[in-house]
């Protein structure tokens, strides 16, 4: 199955305001950053994959999972609906979905919910990889 970038972003936006909860997977109730990506793809019948064997503390497993399930794209070629990987404190530990070249939607603990925000210079500097969800065109 294939979906457009616009459809993928539109589905991700239906999660806006969903409270943040580690390993949450229920729209309007709770989700975390990887849950947002997984559930958006699942809602559009792009995958049945899920991952739940991760702790609250970063352990280095996020990037290999991203590499195994998504298609790597060069950072400069990332577009709306692509997934970006952030490194904080030298560890890849957060993901978001680009909604425009300078905006991202993500389940963000400090805001305690799914938000869409502008990528400022600091956040942009923390992006270390970009990925395309298979089936998004």
- Series of mean pLDDT values for 10-residue runs along the chain (137 residues): 95 98 95 95 92 69 84 96 90 91 92 95 95 96
pLDDT of residue 6: 98
Q: How many domains does the chain have?
A: 1
Contacts of 10 (CB under 8 A, 6+ apart): none
H or E segment and range at residue 85: strand 83-88
Q: Assess if residue 128 is contained within a domain.
A: yes
Rounded CA-CA distance 84/67 in Å is: 12
Cα 26 to chain centroid distance, Å, stands at 15
Rounded CA-CA distance 120/59 in Å is: 26
Q: Assess if residue 64 is contained within a domain.
A: yes
pLDDT of residue 129: 95
Q: Assess if residue 69 is contained within a domain.
A: yes
pLDDT of residue 12: 98
Q: Assess if residue 137 is contained within a domain.
A: no
Q: Assess if residue 94 is contained within a domain.
A: yes
Q: List 105's β-bridge partners, or say none.
A: 97, 116
Count the Cβ atoms, other than its own, within 10 Å of residue 105: 22
Query: Which domain covers residue 12, as residue numbers?
Result: 5-132
| Helices 5-13 and 33-43, packing angle to 10 deg | 120
Buried b (16+ CB within 10 A) or exposed e, 84-101: bbbbeeeebbbbbbbbee
CATH number at residue 78: 3.90.1720.10
Q: Assess if residue 26 is contained within a domain.
A: yes
Q: Assess if residue 60 is contained within a domain.
A: yes
pLDDT of residue 59: 67
The encoded tokens of residue 72 equal 């790597």
Q: Assess if residue 38 is contained within a domain.
A: yes
């Amino acid at each position: 199955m294939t979906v457009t970038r616009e459809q993928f972003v539109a589905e991700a936006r239906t999660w806006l305001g969903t409270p943040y909860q580690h390993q949450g997977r229920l729209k309007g109730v709770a989700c975390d950053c990887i849950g947002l990506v997984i559930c958006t793809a699942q809602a559009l019948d792009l995958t049945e994959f899920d991952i739940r064997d991760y702790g609250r503390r970063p352990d280095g497993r996020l990037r290999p999972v991203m590499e195994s399930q998504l298609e790597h794209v060069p950072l400069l070629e990332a577009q709306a609906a692509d997934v970006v990987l952030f490194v904080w404190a030298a560890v890849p530990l957060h993901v978001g979905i680009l909604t425009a070249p300078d905006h991202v939607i993500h389940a963000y603990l400090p805001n305690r919910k799914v938000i869409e925000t502008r990528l400022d210079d600091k956040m942009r500097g923390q992006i270390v990889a970009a990925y395309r969800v298979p089936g998004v065109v």
